[in-house]
Chain A
Amino acid sequence: MGKVILEVNELTTKYVTRFNEDVYAVDHVSLKVEEGKSLGIAGESGCGKSTLALSLMGYYFAPLHYTSGEIIIDGQNITGMHPDTVRKNILGNEIAYIPQAAMNALNPTQKIIHFIEDVVQAHDPKVSKKEIYELARERFEVLGLPKEVLQRYPVELSGGMKQRTVIATSVILEPKILIADEPSSALDVTSQKMVIKMLRYMMEKGYVKAMIFITHELPLLYNVTDDIMVMYAGQIVEKGSSKQTVFDPIHPYAKGLMGSIIVPESGLKDTKLTAIPGTPPNLKKPPEGCRFAERCKFVTPECKRYPVDMKYLESDRSYRCIFTEEQLRKAYQND
Chain B
Amino acid sequence: MTEKKSCLKGVGLTKVFGLGRNKNMAVDHVDFDFAEGEIVSIVGESGSGKTTLAKMLLGLINTTEGEIYFKSKKRDIRSQKAKKEYWTNIQAIFQDPFSSYNIFNKIDALFLDCINMRGGKKLPYEKKLEMMTEACSFVNLKFAELTNKYPFELSGGQMQRLMIARIFLLKPQILLADEPTSMIDACSRATILDMLLKLRNDTGMTIIFITHDIGLAYFVSDKVFIMEHGKFVESGTADEVILRPKEAYTKRLLNDVPKIHEEWDLSTVDIKAK
A residues with a Cβ closer than 8 A to B are 44-45, 143-144, 146, 164, 188-190, 192-194, 196-198, 200-201, 216-220, 222-223, 246-247, 256-257, 259-269, 271, 273-277, 279
Instruction: Verify if B85 is at the interface (C-beta below 8 Å from A).
Output: no
Quick one: which of B215-260 are within 8 Å of A by CB?
215-219, 238-239, 242-243, 252-254, 256-260
Cα(A279)–Cα(B253), bound, Å? 33
The smallest C-beta distance from B251 to any residue of chain A, in angstroms, reads: 12
List A contacts of B259 (CB < 8 A): 219, 223, 263-265
Instruction: Verify if B128 is at the interface (C-beta below 8 Å from A).
Output: no
When the two chains form the complex, which single residue of B45, B46, B189, B264 contacts A260, counting CB atoms closer than 8 Å?
Answer: B189
B215 near A263: Cβ-Cβ < 8 Å: yes
List A contacts of B268 (CB < 8 A): 193
A223 near B219: Cβ-Cβ < 8 Å: no
Task: Answer whether A190 and B269 are a contact pair too, CB < 8 Å, given A223-B264, A264-B257, A265-B261.
Answer: yes
Cα(A223)–Cα(B188), bound, Å? 23
A261 near B271: Cβ-Cβ < 8 Å: no
19 pairs, CB–CB < 8 Å, chain A vs chain B = A44-B185, A188-B45, A189-B253, A198-B271, A200-B266, A219-B258, A222-B260, A256-B187, A257-B187, A261-B260, A262-B219, A264-B259, A267-B261, A269-B219, A273-B194, A273-B219, A274-B190, A276-B187, A279-B157
The smallest C-beta distance from A47 to any residue of chain B, in angstroms, reads: 9
List A contacts of B254 (CB < 8 A): 264
Interface of B is mostly: helix
List B contacts of A262 (CB < 8 A): 186, 189-190, 213, 215-216, 219
Cα(A271)–Cα(B266), bound, Å? 27
When the two chains form the complex, which single residue of B140, B257, B260, B273 contacts A277, counting CB atoms closer than 8 Å?
Answer: B140
Give me 6 other A-B pairs in contact (C-beta within 8 A), A190-B256, A197-B269, A264-B215 excluded: A164-B271, A188-B212, A193-B268, A194-B269, A263-B261, A269-B238
A273 near B242: Cβ-Cβ < 8 Å: no
Cα(A144)–Cα(B273), bound, Å? 7
Instruction: Verify if B4 is at the interface (C-beta below 8 Å from A).
Output: no
Interface string of B165-200 (1 = CB under 8 A from A): 000000000000000000001111111011000000
A44 near B186: Cβ-Cβ < 8 Å: yes
Task: Answer whether A189 and B257 are a contact pair too, CB < 8 Å, given A268-B215, A269-B238.
Answer: yes
Task: Answer whether A188 and B269 are a contact pair too, CB < 8 Å, given A216-B186, A219-B260.
Answer: no
A275 near B190: Cβ-Cβ < 8 Å: yes
Nearest 5 A-B pairs (CB), nearest first?
A144-B271, A273-B190, A44-B185, A189-B256, A276-B187
List B contacts of A146 (CB < 8 A): 274
Cα(A269)–Cα(B41), bound, Å? 14
